Amino acid sequence: MSNTENPYVPLKARIQKIIQETSSPDLDVKTYRLSFEDGRSLEFMPGQFVEFSVPGIGECPFGFASSPLTKDYFEITIKRTGKVTDKIHTLKEGDFVWIRGPFGNTFPVEKFEGSDLLFVAGGLGLAPLRPFILYALDDTNRKKYGKIDMLLAARTSSDHCFAYEYDEWRAKGASVNLTIDNPEPAWKGLVGFPHNLIKDMEFDFSKLYAFLCGPPIMIKFVQGSLKEMGMPIDRLYTTLEMRMTCGVGKCGKCNIGRQYVCVDGPVFCMAELAEMPTEY
């Protein structure tokens, strides 16, 4: 449920910290660390999102990017793309924004206990997966999950989000594989698209769940590769984005058939999506 009685009413939040995630000239992604002015914490689970307002400019939905186990603050990762995100990118640490939520469903994290996890992300697609990654890697949860593999793609070596954290993820037992689209002189990671590279990775498909997020074309091709390799689609999950004005299933913008991405999603199992109209 929402953190205020009226789900349309946002609360004032202070920008504690801004982290520059990318350094390509044409891709500007920043992470905003926020906390509510009245001291309350935002209880959420991986997969959920908030509606983020800059009064006078507008409001947009963004997925959480931080761990649900962190109570002092929450983080939202935002690419400069349009009217509202242009404005957000001009804000400084100490400035205020307005937040309502959390909204949407969650990754059913308990269902995956005892299984191996594979995260495949393209660019900013890592942001909505990060809450689940941090949740699963946390000391209190790590033993509940088996192998944790990641294949993280970006256009160039300057575009990997949360790169400052990868060593810590590796220290907690995750295999973090990075790839970029084209070779670069100093690059030590992989080169190429995830749907090709994934074929060189080894999985125990009897106990694997995979989470894909990124450009639709990447999701489509990675899903194809995994299916070819023997992965059943009812073990593949993704999270969708849509224009969502209200976040509470009323405004009529985000529905795919009878399902509203804001309340029935944004997390969907691929088996479920296969039964839905392709209107996303």
What's the Cα-to-Cα distance from 239 to each of 65, 121, 129, 255, rounded to whole Å? 13, 11, 9, 14
Could you tell me the smallest distance in angstroms from the CB atom of residue 142 to other proteins?
A: 32
- Residues within window 127-186 making contact with other proteins, judged by CB under 8 A: none
Q: Report in angstroms how near the CB of residue 253 gets to other proteins at its nearest.
A: 6
Residue span 89-108 as binding mask against other proteins, x where in contact by CB under 8 A, dash where not:
---------x----------
- The residue behind tokens 């509470």 is 248
Q: Are strands 74-79 and 11-20 parallel, antiparallel or unpaired?
A: unpaired
DSSP E strand stretches across the chain: 11-20, 29-36, 49-54, 58-63, 74-79, 96-103, 116-122, 148-154, 174-180, 190-191, 208-213, 236-239, 255-256, 259-260, 267-269
Q: Scan residues 25-64 and list those touching other proteins (CB under 8 A).
A: 37, 55-60
**Given candidates 23, 81, 182, 196, which one binds other proteins under the rule CB under 8 A?**
81
CA-to-CA distance for 236 and 7, rounded, in angstroms? 31
For the bound state, the minimum distance from the C-beta of residue 242 to other proteins, rounded and expressed in Å, comes to 7
Q: Encoding tokens for residue 130?
A: 């990060």
**Closer of 77 and 225 to other proteins (Cβ):** 77
x/- track of binding to other proteins for residues 236-275 (CB under 8 A)? -----xxx-xx-xxxxxxxxxxx----x-----------x
Shortest distance in whole angstroms from residue 55 CB to other proteins: 4
Instruction: Please pick, from the candidates 82, 173, 230, 232, the single residue that binds other proteins as defined by CB under 8 A.
Output: 82
Please give the DSSP secondary-structure letter assigned to residue 64: B
Nearer to other proteins, 98 or 166 (CB): 98
Binding-residue total with other proteins (CB under 8 A): 46
Closer CB to other proteins, residue 2 or residue 179? 2
DSSP alpha helix (H) spans, the chain: 83-88, 126-137, 166-171, 194-197, 216-229, 270-274
Phi, psi of 233 (to 5 degrees): -70, -15
Can you give the binding site for other proteins, defined by CB under 8 A?
Answer: 1-2, 5-12, 37, 55-60, 81-85, 98, 241-243, 245-246, 248-258, 263, 275-280
